[in-house]
């Protein structure tokens, strides 16, 4: 049956749909999601908006919204849309069928979404492995971190939905593809160590990459054009290698691109690929017009379900990723050239736009060609980049300046990941301090409650009123200092330059050290009103009170003197003393910052 989204419409209708979808997607990218209803014509029967056009538009908008909602961790279903568009059940079903990966389509056909098995259940299925944790799950299965005890190495275990285990055609496809995938040995491709099935559960045992996905790096805002230019050649190498082996990925997107802690770029999840060649025709192994991939990264021929989809579909997807790395946006609708979005060499426009050609024959024909052009541009930088589209080659004899070498670009990429790691360390080191400040707030609330009940119930007893109010005020100070430190911790923006982060950390330390005087040292005296508020009036007896006050005053004075002496600015050990007094959390954060500064990472 023909898809609703494949209906033949006049050019004018297609242009209107494209414009509305582009506006809708720009709103999502700007962080201001727009309801689908706002993009639909109010009347579906007007001459300007025929019913077929509205139906196709609705399906396209649902595809876009589902894609973005899934990126946010949501799992939209038909039930989310049927109450809103009861007259468009066919369009909703068609849109969801198009946008959901094959695994989720199979799951829907069998009555529900894929639920990843528990760690304990997976451990039962794979007794030879130590299952550590669930890394992630989606429509095509779940990935677990595991350890091979014999080899003492971490691995990634990917299991597929059990529904596939009942499909004879899938078993054939899986076996044939897995054999080829296991032979893909390349430094920029996640290695497949083993494959097979445990009962009805098919699995891949793969290389474990300790790092981040490209999606996480892009969202962090720390990916500069220079880093993007360092990453792309590695992607090209991996794709060219796979294409030479007859393997097409078909789902190149930031989530499937991993960057390890030492800066190595790897493409993951070739498990969705299909084998090309005369011995593995599409009709035999996959069926006709099957769409595999993520809509916003898929080549036009993939979306149309064409038979002749080949390695050039990966080149288109790489172009989408390249554009997103450079600009932070997806190339949707009538998009601008990259140099109109960010200061880059205008020659990159031609490279990116050529990968995004709708007609496969007009694109780059090989990933290696993209790498060659990118490296040529990197090695010959123009002195004055212009933020406009310019496809002309530089004039003969025009001046040029040497840009950083590819090795330096790769170093920059590794530094980016190192910085992210160290920033995560800073954030994690401050968490115990943050939690302790929350505990301190609760203690302050307790002091206020104890003090209030002391003076409120004994307004005719002067010493109880005095001590209750004193404890009440002390509780307020305890709370305010705790909240001050928490607020300053939360205000640290880890995407800012190191100098800014250090200044914010100095502010946290200053607030924490000040709290030591206001809360800690004053305890030499504050225990007295606490005891009175709890009903121990005996501490007010002259033989107890006067010695206690004397000891308290002397203890407080000596503590403050020692404290100020330790922190005296002209003391050579002042900085070390501040770190020591501030505790392990803040000391660990400073240590991470110094590692970043020593590595000259900004």
Enumerate the active-site residues: 251
State the Cα–Cα distance between residues 111 and 492, nearest whole angstrom. Answer: 46
- H/E element holding 213? strand 211-213
Reference 9, options 291, 17, 96, 357; nearest CA is: 17
State the Cα–Cα distance between residues 117 and 128, nearest whole angstrom. Answer: 17
Q: Which residues of 569-597 are buried (b: 16+ CB within 10 A; e: fewer)?
A: eeeeeeeebbbebbbebbbbbbebbeebe
Q: Which residues of 535-550 are buried (b: 16+ CB within 10 A; e: fewer)?
A: eeeeeeeeeeeeebee
In the block, residue with structure tokens 């080899």: 151
CA angle 573, 579, 585 (to 5 degrees): 165
For the purposes of burial, counting CB atoms within 10 Å of the CB of 499, is it exposed (0-12), middle (13-18) or buried (19 or more)? exposed
Q: Are 381 and 400 in contact (CB under 8 A)?
A: yes
Whole-Å CA distances, 157 to 175, 188, 223, 366: 17, 19, 29, 31
State the Cα–Cα distance between residues 515 and 441, nearest whole angstrom. Answer: 12
Q: Are 78 and 113 in contact (CB under 8 A)?
A: no
Reference 596, options 426, 387, 451; nearest CA is: 426
Token pair belonging to 345:
């060499």
Token pair belonging to 145:
């971190």
Give the 3-state DSSP-derived string for 351-405, with helices as H, strands as E and coil as C: HHHHHCCCCHHHCCCCHHHHHHHHHHHHHCECCCCCCCCCCCCCCCCCCCECCCC
Beta strands in 443-564 (DSSP E): none
In the block, residue with structure tokens 């009555």: 111
Confirm whether residue 158 is marked as ligand binding. Answer: yes
Token pair belonging to 91:
């369009």
Token pair belonging to 346:
């205008």
Give strand pairing partners of 130: 147
Whole-Å CA distances, 227 to 234, 318, 319, 409, 410: 12, 15, 16, 6, 8
Binding-site residues, please?
158
Binding-site residues for ATP, please?
158
């Amino acid at each position: 049956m023909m898809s609703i989204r494949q209906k033949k419409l006049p050019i004018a209708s297609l242009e209107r749909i494209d414009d509305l979808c582009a506006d809708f997607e720009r709103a999502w990218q700007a962080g201001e999601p727009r309801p689908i209803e706002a993009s639909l014509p109010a009347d579906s029967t007007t001459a300007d908006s025929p019913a077929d056009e509205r139906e196709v538009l609705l399906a396209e908008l649902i595809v876009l919204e589902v894609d973005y909602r899934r990126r946010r961790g949501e799992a939209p279903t038909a039930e989310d849309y049927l109450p809103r568009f009861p007259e468009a059940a066919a369009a909703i079903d068609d849109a969801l069928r198009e946008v959901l990966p094959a695994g989720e389509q199979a799951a829907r056909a069998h009555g529900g979404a894929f639920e990843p098995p528990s760690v304990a259940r997976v451990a039962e299925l794979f007794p030879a492995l130590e299952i550590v944790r669930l890394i992630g799950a989606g429509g095509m299965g779940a990935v677990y971190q595991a350890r091979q005890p014999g080899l003492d190495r971490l691995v990634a275990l990917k299991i597929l939905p059990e529904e596939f285990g009942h499909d004879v055609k899938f078993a054939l496809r899986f076996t044939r593809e897995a054999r080829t995938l296991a032979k893909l040995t390349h430094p920029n491709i996640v290695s497949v160590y083993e494959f097979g099935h445990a009962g009805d559960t098919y699995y891949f045992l793969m290389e474990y990459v300790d790092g981040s996905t490209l999606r996480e790096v892009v969202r962090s805002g720390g990916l500069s054009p220079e880093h993007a230019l360092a990453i792309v050649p590695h992607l090209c190498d991996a794709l060219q290698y796979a294409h030479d082996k007859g393997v097409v990925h078909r789902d190149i997107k930031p989530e499937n691109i991993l960057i390890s802690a030492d800066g190595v770029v790897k493409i993951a999840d070739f498990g969705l690929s299909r084998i090309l060649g005369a011995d593995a025709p599409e009709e035999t192994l996959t069926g006709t017009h099957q769409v595999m991939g993520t809509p916003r990264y898929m080549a036009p021929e993939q979306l149309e379900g064409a038979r002749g989809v080949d390695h050039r579909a990966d080149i288109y997807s790489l172009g989408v990723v390249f554009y997103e790395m450079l600009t932070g946006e997806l190339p949707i609708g009538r998009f601008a050239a990259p140099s109109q979005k960010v200061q880059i060499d205008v020659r990159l426009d031609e490279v990116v736009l050529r990968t995004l050609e709708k007609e496969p024959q007009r694109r780059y024909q090989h990933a290696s060609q993209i790498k060659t052009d990118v490296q040529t541009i990197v090695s010959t930088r123009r002195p004055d980049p212009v933020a406009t589209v310019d496809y002309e080659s530089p004039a003969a004899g025009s001046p040029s300046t040497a840009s950083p070498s590819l090795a330096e670009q790769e170093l920059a990429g590794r530094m980016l990941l190192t910085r992210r790691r160290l920033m995560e360390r800073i954030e994690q080191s401050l968490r115990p301090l943050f939690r302790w400040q929350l505990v301190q707030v609760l203690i302050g609330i307790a002091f206020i409650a104890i003090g209030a009940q002391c003076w409120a119930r004994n307004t005719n007893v002067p010493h109880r009123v005095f001590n209750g109010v004193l404890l009440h005020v002390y509780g307020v100070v305890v709370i305010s200092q705790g909240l001050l430190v928490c607020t300053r911790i939360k205000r640290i923006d880890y995407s800012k330059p190191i100098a800014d982060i250090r200044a914010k950390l100095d502010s946290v330390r200053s607030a924490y050290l000040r709290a030591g005087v206001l809360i800690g040292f004053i305890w030499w005296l504050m225990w007295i009103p606490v005891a009175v508020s709890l009903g121990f009036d005996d501490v007010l007896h002259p033989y107890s009170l006067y010695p206690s006050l004397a000891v308290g005053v002397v203890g407080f004075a000596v503590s403050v003197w020692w404290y100020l002496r330790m922190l005296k600015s002209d003391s050579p050990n002042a900085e070390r003393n501040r770190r020591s007094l501030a505790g392990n959390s803040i000391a660990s954060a400073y240590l991470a910052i110094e590692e970043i500064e020593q590595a000259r990472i900004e």
